[in-house]
Amino acid sequence: MAALHDLTALEQGALIASGELTSLELTEHYLERTARLDDVGAFVTVTADRARDQARDADAPRGSDWAGAKQPLYGVPTAIKDLNLTAGVRTTFGSAAFDDFVPEVSDAVTEAIEWSRMPSLGKTSTPEFGSPCYTEPEGRPPAVTPWDRTRMAGGSSGGAAAAVAAGLVPVAQGSDGGGSIRIPASCCGLVGLKPSRGRISGAPMYGDPVGLSTAGTLARTVRDAAALLDVLAGRRAGDPSWAQPPTGPFLAACDRAPGRLRVARFITPVISDAPVDPECVEAYEDASRLLERLGHDVVDVPVPLSEEAVPVFETCWAVLTALSAAPPDREHLLRPLTRWLSERGRAVTGPEFGLAIGAMRRFAAAALEALEPYDAVLTPTLAAPPLLVGELRDDADPARDFEAQKAFTPWTSAWNVTGMPAVNLPLHRTPSGLPVGVMLAARPAEEELLLSLAAQVETAAPWHDRRPPGWT
């Protein structure tokens, strides 16, 4: 008989809906696993008593007409990234400068999870302000992939990815401003979905005026990722942008055939001239052949985003880092990379920042126009399999650290610039068993088509039964 954590999140939700399992029983199962098996650096803070209270609330009798009861992940445990405000729960933003910060309000992502009665086991680890593509917060264990605990889980949603990949929660929310969901999804062998700009509300802080970052989902299957997107998606009245509403639940899109699609592909790195590991090339070529076998037309295209967009993106990234500044009396606690990026950001004048945002929107428009004839875009997710812990981090030379991150992640940020939805699919493994993902993107607001295609790929080459060491 399969253990509870062997089941998909949707299967667990179905057991709760049928009365065969309570949310509290499932929450206790995952709390026990987290206490015993979190050697992957998944959690910064475990909120066991709060999770139990939330589970009891989910198990309380309610009227059959209550809309939340129709949510297929109702009562299923999850976790919340340590960048997301959670009222009454320590939220450190991955920084020693905020080690004792407890917000008074929750953000829209946390509220959506709580409204759906998904108990949160706690806060998952993230690097300082979610900036690096590795999760090695100061004074805490690094987040590592459970496929090889000497190697990184990626970042910045590394803790969330490690938690899902190790079976500590069935699904988890992450956030993605330059690849921060898709990078750890590739490192940990997961589905990692970054939705379109405006699909998920950034209320109440709206901390990214550029529009690069969005919340998204990490899961072991496409259907689970889609179901969690249904939980998180929706706009608030004050949102500066919003994606066109879907025709129905995103989960339903996974059960529809996508039809014959035109798929663009390119492997030339976008933001770095770094070499691409042969395993990542093989994953990309294998995915191309699979898409062709499924009946799709795969077409080689030039890189759609100009090289001139790279310094513009870096200017915006540096300013966003500066906006995350710590209180003056705690700035000495910031990591060297954060201080270096913040100094770059503070050197940018207001007019220069405004011009950079305008330039980035024009680069995005050109890329979107170039890709308009295609239903989807295929690239590698990363330029290498998961690296050793500490291989990218260089506190003595933050500029070198930053360039090394770009070389490792030369494609992911392109879709943050354009606002397109993008998903990592864990199709490939190295001979030693390390996961290597490929990335599919779609036109803005076309998550339904992207999920339909991703589900078709998963059916043709399933990965759900893969288990990392330590799973049991």
Sign of CA dihedral 180, 181, 187, 188: positive
Is 452 within 8 Å of 256 (Cβ atoms)? Answer: yes
180 in catalytic set: yes
- The upper half-sphere exposure of residue 146, i.e. CA atoms within 13 Å in the direction of its Cβ, equals 25
Is 374 within 8 Å of 301 (Cβ atoms)? Answer: yes
Contacts of 142 (CB under 8 A, 6+ apart): 41, 134, 135, 136, 152, 153, 158, 389, 390
- The upper half-sphere exposure of residue 54, i.e. CA atoms within 13 Å in the direction of its Cβ, equals 26
User: Can you tell me whether residue 260 is helix, strand or coil?
Assistant: coil
Q: Which residues of 196-230 are buried (b: 16+ CB within 10 A; e: fewer)?
A: bbbbbbbbeeeebebbbbbbbbbbbbbbbbbbbbb
User: Among 23, 106, 156, 342, which one carries the catalytic annotation?
Assistant: 156
- The upper half-sphere exposure of residue 306, i.e. CA atoms within 13 Å in the direction of its Cβ, equals 13
User: Among 23, 95, 157, 180, which one carries the catalytic annotation?
Assistant: 180
Per DSSP bridges, beta strands 297-300 and 422-429 are unpaired
User: Among 23, 81, 106, 288, which one carries the catalytic annotation?
Assistant: 81
C-alpha–C-alpha distance, residues 409 and 412, integer Å: 6
Q: Which of 452, 454, 429 is nearest to 439 (CA)?
A: 454
Is 184 within 8 Å of 135 (Cβ atoms)? Answer: yes
- DSSP H helices, 69-203, are 108-115, 158-165, 182-188
Q: Per-residue DSSP letters for 31-70?
A: HHHHHHH--S--EEEE-HHHHHHHHHHHHS---TT-GGGG
Residue type, 245: P
Phi-psi region of 259 (alpha: psi -120 to 50; beta: other; left: phi over 0): left
Residues annotated as catalytic are 81, 156, 180
